[in-house]
Structure 1
Amino acid sequence: MSPILEILILVVVGFIVGVINTISGGGSMLTLPILIFFLGDSAMANGTNRVAIFLQTISSIAGFRSKGLKVPKISTWLGVTATIGALIGSLIAVEIDDRIFNRILAIFMIVIVAFMIMKPTKNLNDALERFTGKYFWGSLLAFFLIGIYGGFLQAGTGIFMLLALSTINQMTLVRSNLVKAVVMLIYTAASLSVFFWYDKVDLKYGLLLASGQFVGGWMSSRWSVNKGDGLVKTFLIIMVIAMAVKLWLF
């Protein structure tokens, strides 16, 4: 494959994934297979993919803030909690068949998204967000578990973050995406440092992919604020179903 075609594929796919990751999540289902094809090493692909995710979250946060959204204080707490979970998750040897685990996870995702479909869409101004008491501790626990999941599986972590924030804290999906981006920034910085330490990052491919994801993240974050929760819910449902099918069949 020619270098120019390689660059074009990475940038275009990066842009598409930047949009998907910012509005819903699950974009790594596209980037990881492509990086594995180019790099020939799944661990290297996993580490390289995080370069693009890290830079994309920065542009997404900037895009949300440019539209007047403020980062909730709980974001830092959730980011630290998810990071601790991820570090623990990377050390856990899970004694369960991968195929069985994936099918259980697929069913769980479909059940959750069914509740989301039935749940009426809220406007930003009407949201009654819950950040105190049991809801605060509940979200910390949820993000700790999400971090553990991300520590050894990663794919779909952003989707679970959105589901947790919208159900536990009653956040609108648009604002949930902002919190998700902040948590991902903290979470990815920690995991990326591990991959760098073990020399499992190809900066050339990571930055090429990131160039597309950076633009996609910026544009889609601003666009999603304008369009509201309806757009985000549609994207999320599509990606949850795609993720569930992938987990069930592969």
Structure 2
Amino acid sequence: MDLFLECLLLIPVGFLAGFINTVAGGGTLFTLPALIFMGLPAPVANGTNRIAIFVQTVTAVRGFKSQGASMYPFSLYLGVSALLGSLIGAKLAINVDDVLFNRILAGIMLTMLVFMLFNKQTDFKNLQPKLTGAPLYKAIVIFFFLGIYGGFINAGIGFFMLLILPYVNGLSLLQSNVTKVFVVAIYTIGAIVIFALENKINYRLAFILTIGNALGAWFSSRWSVKKDDKVIRIFMMVTILALSIKLWFF
């Protein structure tokens, strides 16, 4: 596939992923299948995607900060915990067979589809932040295991974080999103190191995908988006269903 076609496919997919990842989660459900569709083995697609995720999340952190939104140092504590977990998860991902990886991804995508269909919207209006003591320690432990999952595949991890942070730490939607992108930026460093040492990154495609991811993250981090946007939800559900069927059977 020539450079023009690679850009034509990956930059729009990256933009969509960066936008969705920043306001909620699930962008990897689009970028991983796209990279696999372009012929990359599953571990290489997984590693390549991490470069874009890192730049996207750093861009989102900067975008949020430019609007006065920060959860430091709370997000740093969770990020370091997730970083340790990501080293384990990334190592596991490298040794997974391509067919098994594709089916795991398909299963995760279908799980996210069910979640999107039946999830009740969280009421973020009456929450009180709990950033110290037992809630903090509980979150640190939980985010270590989230880091393992993030290091392994990362797909849909934003959904999990947006479920956990309001209930465990009483964070609003904005605070949860700010924390989420910072944590992902930190633990993705560990995943990149593991994939790079194993030569599982296609840097050319990573660069192209990164352009789209960064643009999407910058735009969404500076734009007020309604979480219950029906058009985006329907589009995501249809696309996720189609891609999961493709990954499972082909």
Q: State the AA in 2 paired with 1:201.
A: I
Q: Where in structure 2 are there 5+ consecutive unaligned residues? A: none
8 Å Cα contact 2:135/2:168 also seen in 1: yes
TM-fit CA distance, 1:153: 3.7
TM-fit CA distance, 1:114: 5.6
| Superposition map of 1:179-198 within 5 A | 179-198=179-198
Aligned counterpart, 2:203: 203
TM-score (norm 1): 0.80
TM-fit CA distance, 1:3: 2.7
Aligned counterpart, 1:138: 138
CA RMSD of aligned residues (A): 3.4
8 Å Cα contact 1:107/1:244 also seen in 2: no
TM-score (norm 2): 0.80
Aligned counterpart, 1:27: 27
TM-fit CA distance, 1:49: 0.4
TM-fit CA distance, 1:152: 3.1
Residue 58 of structure 2 aligns to a residue in which SS?
helix
Q: State the AA in 2 paired with 1:162.
A: L
Picking from 206, 209, 227, the partner of 1:232 is: 227
Deviations 1:202-238 (CA, angstroms, capped at 9, x unpaired): 1111010000110110010111xx34xxx23558977
Identical pairs, percent: 38
1:105–1:166 CA distance, 2 compared to 1 (3 A): farther
1:241–1:24 CA distance, 2 compared to 1 (3 A): farther
TM-fit CA distance, 1:26: 1.0
| Superposition map of 1:1-250 within 5 A | 1-90=1-90, 116-117=120-121, 119-122=122-125, 127-223=127-223, 226-227=224-225, 231-232=226-227, 234=229, 246=244, 250=248
Aligned equivalents of 1:37, 1:112: Cα separation in 2: 24
1:57–1:121 CA distance, 2 compared to 1 (3 A): same
TM-fit CA distance, 1:199: 1.0
Aligned equivalents of 2:178, 2:147: Cα separation in 1: 18
Q: State the AA in 1 paired with 2:227.
A: V
Deviations 1:172-198 (CA, angstroms, capped at 9, x unpaired): 112211111111111001110111111
